[in-house]
Chain A
Amino acid sequence: MSYIGSHIFDRELKKGSAELLILSLVEDQPRHGYDIGNLIEQRSEGALKFNVASLYPLLYRLEKRGWIQGRWVEKAGQRRRRYYRLTAEGKKILAAQRSSWREFVEAVNRITGIEHA
């Protein structure tokens, strides 16, 4: 189906790295969507920003793939929130994505490094 394959390239790139970002952020502790979005924005110092339209479909996709798992948590005095945590499979994926990301960055660095030398 052609529509699926028709997305703009940089959108795909952003989405590809976004998976890695989200998996990383929920590695140590479960987080809710708003928290994840804020953390990405803060830690990237505003360079990366997700809004509702881009973040949640991604979360649902990761969840559907079984890499993260969402769960409603109720705390006293607050509305309930949905927290996401990394699954066992997600851990494997995260490890794989991390190392390939690192390789990719190193490769890019090597190239750009030589060019600058």
Chain B
Amino acid sequence: MPDWEEEIRRRLVRLRLAPTREAEIIEELAQHLDDRYEESLRGGATEDEARQVVLLELTESDLLARDLCRVECPVWQEPATPEARRSTNMLGDFWQDLHYGLRMLAKNPGFTIVAVVALALGIGANSAIFSVVNTVLLRPLPYKDPDRLMMVWEDDAKGGFPRDTPAAANYIDWRDQNQVFEGMAAIANESFNMTGAGEPERIDGRRVSANLFSLLGVEPLMGRAFTPEEDQPGSNRVVIMSHGLWQLRFGSETKIIGSSLTLNGESFAVVGVMPPHFQFPSRDDELWVPIAFSSQEATNRGRHYLQVIARTKPGVTVEQAQAEMNTIAARLQQQYPDSNTELGATVTPLHEHVVGDIKPALLVLWGAVGFVLLVACANVANLLLARAAVRQKEIAVRVALGASRPRLIRQFLTESMLLAVLGGIVGLLLSLWGVNLLKAFIPENISQAQAVAIDGRALSFTILVSLLTGLVFGLAPATQTSNFNLNETLKEGGRDSATGSRGHRIRGLLVITEVAVSLVLLIGAGLLINSFLRLLNVDPGFRADKLLTMRVVLPELKYPDQTRRTAFYTELVSRIETLPGVQSAAVTNWIPLVLQGDSQGISIEGRPDPGPGKNPIVVTRVVSPHYFNTMGIQLLRGRQFGEQDRVDAPRVVVVSQEMARRFWSGEDPLGKRIKTGGVNSPSPWMEIVGVAKDVRQVKLDADPKPQMYVPYAQPVFFQPSHLVVRTDVEPRSLATTVRRTVWGIDKDQPVSNISTMEDVLSESLARQRFSMLLLGIFAAVALVLAAVGIYGVMSYSVAQRTHEIGIRMALGAQASDVLKLAIGGGLKLVTIGIVIGLVAAYVLTRVMSSLLFGVTATDPLTFIGVSVSLVIVALMACFVPARRATKVDPLIALRYE
């Protein structure tokens, strides 16, 4: 008969039972196996078969050892604990830790959910903002070698335009004289009335140099780019269209190449269609035609209207390019003193030009989400610490059984990593949703805004952030928990380390961090909200309510002279003013706040001529008689324009308050005369007949510049292109009627950009609203997380001090004393956090000064107001657990232990 005793002993040796007990068990089990063996033999089995049957009984030998251990071992010992087989089985340990960690999380769903939600909020916000930062700031522009693409500007710093749009003749000289650029191309705004097929449509486009597309390194999807020959007047009736226009307007018709389009009344041959997502310079552009400078244009240094892009030769730095352009600009100053005096040239990387405006806001938001994540980490670390306290006994047993400190730290880190990964997954889902939400908020004019998506880089970023997060919030509790006094903990009722002085300190530090970081975020958000409110309260100088606006640009071919144009607009305005629901209507070259406008240099009668190129520049608006009424612009003095201000009447002009203040300070501007251009220019003198209140023409947060208004019926340099209609009813409801009225006069006349002035106003604040809303949301999330964190720590601390509170109450302490005691502790931490937060905010909010309006980055009111609000929230978070403390029954509290 086989020796079963040896088989059994081998399986029990790990249990280290008392020798006599072990012998008894072995004997009894061996007896059992003997019986089984004999029975099998009796049943006709061979010795080998019988042996197999018996061994089957022992197959679950781990189970045997474990179950026996539970009954027999003096202290329960997990035979399969890592400590027991202290081998270097890293992978095995890892799986075991993972398994164990998962089970711990599943067993504490409350803890797990709170931790995962906090982390998901932090990680999700980071991932979403990163995807925006990545797409808008980090991803290279979608052109070939985009690092070598530069914008070149005229530098008219003296005139207030350090980056001015160049004049054609200057561009041509730059292009022909430089040695640093491989190529240079010019772009001019153009919009086209497209007629012939369906409704007439106004389409934005550009006149561009023939080499623009090759300079960008982008080939048309179909057809070809322009040839140099097509960049000549007379042979430039060719057009390239955007993919979007081709799809929407022409149903992706492949035979489009070679067909012709009627643009501004002339026929253009379609030679190319650009690939999807191609946009240059702005995403509104849908048509490109050759710029083909006329000989007059090519020699003009006074009209500044081009955008110039250039590609540096390989190896040429921005500085070298700038130096070369300085030399050329200096030469041009000498050559053309009349136009180029004090006119320099500035080279800026295209990327900087494209992202320049939004960069500070995005960087601030990126920093803000980092802070949110920090608060989330502090929260989860706190939760882990509190939970570790509950697990002290378990850890003590493991240490007693020989678990090393690194081994325990690894175990805890695995658990935090697990949480971080879960938080990362949920956060990623959250960010997928958040990115779509963000897209709705991103101001439309931000390049690439619609391309924002969670791509590989954003995904890697999320994974990295999650893992780092796990490390950050896991390390403190792990090192803390694994470092404690074994004897103390093993004693029944012994204090664990997480409640010891060091545990308190870490907890306190975490609360302080949360408060400080939240305060910085809240102050940032407070400053932006403050700025935004101030912006909303800025008087734009006109009444935006019940005002309908649209663009009606007359094509030059059909309306070649001012008489015909004026006739059209006069007829249009008078027809519209008879419509029910319309109070008045007017036309102007530009409505305020669309970031476009015209200005002119002027001379003042009786003043010395300042010399060529030094005439003061004033914003010029060409308007029809009822313009001031319609826009609700207050006339402070004199009169507005009337029907009498015709082409043959004396020239008149209305100036703005700011213009009057700047040029006729202390004098009466009425009756004074000005003219456009230099004193000796052929343009006629215009008499000032009125002074109008200042209007914020460019943007709400820019001080009003000097402006003048001239009547549209008198000879003017700029053409009206916008219609404004003041209504009694909801302005949008009149849009169709007004459009039909236009078509009633000219059925081919496109109408575009139909909008209410309130929308224009609101759109002009899109960027500020974007930053304010997002930072506000992040600050709110941080505040909630911080409040939860403070509440958690205070609850825990009150629970730990139940015994002490019981004694105090037994000795006669009143509820108010206990309340004071409990709140006092929390308040101390909050106060320290606020002081640190205030100092940090004082330093950090400076980076957002470019985003602020009307408040300084260290606005004391915001700093104080936000701090007080945070103290109130923190007090409430302390108060709830503190009140619980006052409900402690001394008897129960004393029996606690």
Q: What residues of chain A have their CB less than 8 Å away from a CB belonging to chain B?
A: 1-4, 6, 32-34, 37, 51-54, 56-58, 60-61, 64, 79, 81-82
**Residue B28, interface by CB 8 Å:** yes
Q: A2-B103, A34-B35 are in contact. Are A53 and B397 (CB under 8 A)?
A: no
Query: Which has the most chain B C-beta neighbours within 10 Å: A2, A52, A64, A82?
Result: A52
Residues of the A chain whose Cβ atoms lie less than 8 Å from the Cβ of B861: none
Asked if A57 and B107 sit within 8 Å, CB to CB, the answer is no
Asked if B71 and A82 sit within 8 Å, CB to CB, the answer is no
Residues of the A chain whose Cβ atoms lie less than 8 Å from the Cβ of B32: 33-34, 37, 52, 56
Asked if A56 and B68 sit within 8 Å, CB to CB, the answer is yes
**Residue B840, interface by CB 8 Å:** no
18 A-B pairs with CB atoms under 8 Å apart are A1-B393, A33-B32, A34-B31, A34-B32, A51-B59, A52-B33, A52-B58, A53-B60, A53-B63, A54-B60, A54-B67, A56-B29, A56-B68, A57-B64, A57-B68, A60-B25, A60-B68, A82-B28
* CB 8 Å contact bits of B385-426 with A (1 = contact, 0 = none): 000000001100100000000000000000000000000000
A58 to B66, CA, bound (A): 12
A56 to B63, CA, bound (A): 11
Asked if B33 and A2 sit within 8 Å, CB to CB, the answer is no
A-B pairs with the 6 shortest C-beta distances?
A: A57-B67, A53-B64, A51-B57, A34-B35, A53-B60, A60-B71
Residues of the B chain whose Cβ atoms lie less than 8 Å from the Cβ of A58: 67
Residues of the B chain whose Cβ atoms lie less than 8 Å from the Cβ of A53: 57-61, 63-64, 67
Chain A nearest CB from B399 CB (Å) reads 14
**Residue B457, interface by CB 8 Å:** no
A81 to B29, CA, bound (A): 10
Asked if A52 and B394 sit within 8 Å, CB to CB, the answer is no
Q: For chain B, what secondary structure do more than half of its interface residues adopt (helix, strand, loop), or is it mixed?
A: helix
A116 to B34, CA, bound (A): 47
Q: A34-B32, A52-B58, A81-B31 are in contact. Are A64 and B107 (CB under 8 A)?
A: no
**Residue B78, interface by CB 8 Å:** yes
Q: What residues of chain B have their CB less than 8 Å away from a CB belonging to chain A?
A: 24-25, 28-29, 31-36, 56-61, 63-64, 67-68, 70-72, 76, 78, 100, 103-104, 107, 393-394, 397
A10 to B244, CA, bound (A): 64
A107 to B800, CA, bound (A): 45
Residues of the A chain whose Cβ atoms lie less than 8 Å from the Cβ of B28: 33, 56, 82
Asked if B56 and A2 sit within 8 Å, CB to CB, the answer is no
Residues of the B chain whose Cβ atoms lie less than 8 Å from the Cβ of A6: 103
Residues of the A chain whose Cβ atoms lie less than 8 Å from the Cβ of B59: 51, 53
Residues of the A chain whose Cβ atoms lie less than 8 Å from the Cβ of B68: 56-57, 60
- The closest CB in chain A to the CB of B69 belongs to A57
- The closest CB in chain B to the CB of A52 belongs to B57
- The closest CB in chain A to the CB of B393 belongs to A1
- The closest CB in chain B to the CB of A57 belongs to B67
- The closest CB in chain A to the CB of B391 belongs to A2
Chain B nearest CB from A75 CB (Å) reads 12
Residues of the B chain whose Cβ atoms lie less than 8 Å from the Cβ of A60: 25, 68, 71-72
Q: A54-B63, A56-B25, A61-B71 are in contact. Are A2 and B107 (CB under 8 A)?
A: yes
Q: A2-B394, A34-B35 are in contact. Are A57 and B71 (CB under 8 A)?
A: yes
Q: A51-B57, A54-B63, A56-B28 are in contact. Are A1 and B71 (CB under 8 A)?
A: no
A9 to B232, CA, bound (A): 87
Residues of the A chain whose Cβ atoms lie less than 8 Å from the Cβ of B60: 51, 53-54
Residues of the A chain whose Cβ atoms lie less than 8 Å from the Cβ of B36: 34
Residues of the A chain whose Cβ atoms lie less than 8 Å from the Cβ of B70: 4, 57, 61
Residues of the A chain whose Cβ atoms lie less than 8 Å from the Cβ of B31: 32-34, 79, 81-82
A2 to B103, CA, bound (A): 9
A82 to B70, CA, bound (A): 21
A37 to B103, CA, bound (A): 34
Residues of the A chain whose Cβ atoms lie less than 8 Å from the Cβ of B394: 1-2
- The closest CB in chain A to the CB of B65 belongs to A53
Chain B nearest CB from A85 CB (Å) reads 15
- The closest CB in chain B to the CB of A63 belongs to B71
Chain A nearest CB from B855 CB (Å) reads 55
Asked if B76 and A1 sit within 8 Å, CB to CB, the answer is yes
A81 to B24, CA, bound (A): 11
- The closest CB in chain A to the CB of B35 belongs to A34
Chain B nearest CB from A10 CB (Å) reads 14
Residues of the B chain whose Cβ atoms lie less than 8 Å from the Cβ of A3: 78
Chain B nearest CB from A5 CB (Å) reads 8
Chain B nearest CB from A52 CB (Å) reads 4
- The closest CB in chain A to the CB of B72 belongs to A60
Chain A nearest CB from B74 CB (Å) reads 12
Residues of the A chain whose Cβ atoms lie less than 8 Å from the Cβ of B103: 2, 6
The one of B29, B104, B397 in contact with A52, judged by C-beta atoms closer than 8 angstroms, is B29
A6 to B56, CA, bound (A): 25
Residues of the A chain whose Cβ atoms lie less than 8 Å from the Cβ of B71: 57, 60-61, 64
A105 to B824, CA, bound (A): 59
Extra 15 A-B pairs, beta carbons < 8 Å, given A6-B103, A54-B60: A4-B70, A34-B35, A51-B56, A51-B59, A52-B33, A52-B57, A52-B64, A53-B58, A53-B60, A56-B64, A57-B64, A57-B71, A60-B68, A60-B71, A64-B71
Query: Which has the most chain B C-beta neighbours within 10 Å: A3, A32, A58?
Result: A3
Chain B nearest CB from A73 CB (Å) reads 12
Chain B nearest CB from A18 CB (Å) reads 12
Chain B nearest CB from A53 CB (Å) reads 4
Residues of the B chain whose Cβ atoms lie less than 8 Å from the Cβ of A82: 24, 28, 31
Chain A nearest CB from B446 CB (Å) reads 52
